Structure 1
Amino acid sequence: MILPNKLFSYNDSILSKMPCILCNLDTPKTPVELLRLCRDIQGPVELVDVLDCLYALRKITLNDKGEIEKC
């Protein structure tokens, strides 16, 4: 997980990618759909890091269909 520090700027960190995920969750979406919608996320590993942080902050949840939705 990349957080901002002396080596990584805010724009290079996963914190800058959280708003993109939250803005695209007006309806529940699968992780693949989110990866396609958020162009600034570099790959599936970075997507998982962002989703982990959002889940830990209780901003997203997983529904019965396996889709991610906003809390």
Structure 2
Amino acid sequence: MILPNKLFSYNDSILSKLPSILFVLDTPKSPVEILRLCRNIKGPVELVDILDCLYALKKIRLNDKGEIQRC
């Protein structure tokens, strides 16, 4: 997980990408759909880090279909 520090600025960290994921989740979506819609995410590893962070903050959850939705 890349957090802002002396080496990485806020814009390079995953914290700057949290709002873009939440904005896309107006309806439940699969991780593949989220990755396609968010152009500022570099790859699936970064997406998993962002989703882990959002889940820990209780901002997203998985529904019965395995899709990600906002809380």
TM tier relative to shorter chain: over 0.9
Partner in structure 1 of residue 44 of structure 2: 44
Percent identity over paired residues: 82
Alignment: residue pair count: 71
Q: For structure 2, which runs of at least 5 residues remain unmatched after alignment?
A: none
CA drift at 1:65: 0.3
Moved over 2 A (4+): none
Name the SS for the 2:3 alignment partner: coil
TM-score, normalised with respect to structure 1 = 0.99
Counterpart residue type for residue 68 of structure 2 = I
Partner in structure 1 of residue 2 of structure 2: 2
Give the CA RMSD over aligned residues. Answer: 0.3
Partner in structure 2 of residue 11 of structure 1: 11
TM-score, normalised with respect to structure 2 = 0.99
